[in-house]
Amino acid sequence: MFIIRPIEQKDLDGLMELLKDSGHGLTSLPRDPEVLRKRIRHSERSFAHREDGPRGEDYLFAMEELFTGRIVGVCAIISKIGGFEPYYFYRLEEELRESKMIHIKNKISTLHFTYIHNGPAEICSLYLHPEFRNSQNGRFLSLSRFLFIAENRKHFEDEVIAEMRGMVNDSGHSPFWEAVGKHFIKLDFPTADYLTTKSKKFIEELLPKSPVIVNLLPEDAQFVVGKVHPNTEPAKRILEQEGFKFSGLVGIFEPGPVVKAEVDKIRSITESIVDEIVEVSDKAFRSDTFIISRTGTNFRSALGGVIRLKSGGLKISGVTAAALKLRLGDKIRYVTFRPKVKKAVIKKTTVKIPTKKKKK
């Protein structure tokens, strides 16, 4: 059984072990103990001391195998990006051009340097150990964050984005970086990517502000613009099912797509329910699977069954109650694990078959 909870300093060694095979592309969680120690410290302060509105808090969560204590996954939410140091992106624009005289049509794609100083929120830093990757664990790790946002709504911006990992191979080769970034930031991709964890200022200092015409790039660099890494496709589909759509922005080094959604329209937030536990069952019972979290400040989340009783209140299993440290009378927030599939309505139509008229 797995739980998702706020990360702590005692998890540093487990986090380092988790990330040892993470490869390139997980920019926000480099395999550097000092950087990770600072990130955990920032997260602990974010959970402990919050303003009435979002101020750039960074909430980092660990996915723990409950019976072994092993850290098998990690994910994060930033309440508001930007501030003193902006976030940099390219805005992808496409224009159709046509010459009727010579019967030629062209689509011209351009990338425009842009930055964000004032929001939105961001979900980020999601990584799951390969040994535990399946549709259930990945979905749980991703969606549990939305229950935390729902429970702490005033601490987040009204819009949230996710920068999806772009096309970089296991050795750190990025076709787009080789075609664009390397000409102005004379470093290899992994080094430049790592330096963004220290400061992003060099991006604005060195990259030109003129639009990049994608059509003029080598074919392999053109191909990766707006594309996600194959390992990130499942994560992108999960977010699309929650209501996320392409924002028109792509990453600045390896141009994976940035998807966005209005917080109050995200499925796992709008459909989540808060109710009281009135029964804890020692016996197994049939139920759909739900993502369940504690209410209040001590966030903790797990997968489990929930039954709404006719007399009022909820029934959960003893295993779930123990995992989440719940007792009778406590309240939980829960939501269905997967979106409900709407059944197609088939309208019946009557077809009249014409008959031949009899001759008089």
* Residues that are catalytic: 229
* 334 vs 337: CA distance, rounded Å: 9
Q: In whole angstroms, what is the distance from residue 128 CA to residue 145 CA?
A: 14
DSSP 27: T
What's at 3, amino acid-wise? I
Tokens encoding 193: 């990517």
Phi then psi for residue 202, to 5 deg, are -65, -20
Do the Cβ atoms of 232 and 164 come closer than 8 Å?
A: yes
Distance CA 246, CA 300 (A): 30
Residue located via tokens 């808060």: 274
- At residue 132, the 3 state secondary structure works out as helix
Tokens standing for residue 302: 């797990």
Strand-pair partners of 325: none
Residue with tokens 């009783």: 309
Pairing of strands 314-317, 273-281: parallel
Q: CB atoms < 10 A from the CB of 87, how many?
A: 23
Q: Quick check: helix, strand or coil at residue 64?
A: strand
Looking at the chain, list the stretches that DSSP marks H as alpha helix, in order from N- to C-terminal side.
Answer: 12-19, 33-48, 135-151, 175-176, 182-184, 189-195, 201-206, 219-224, 233-242, 267-270, 318-324
Q: What is the largest CA-CA distance in the chain?
A: 100
Type of residue found at 277? I
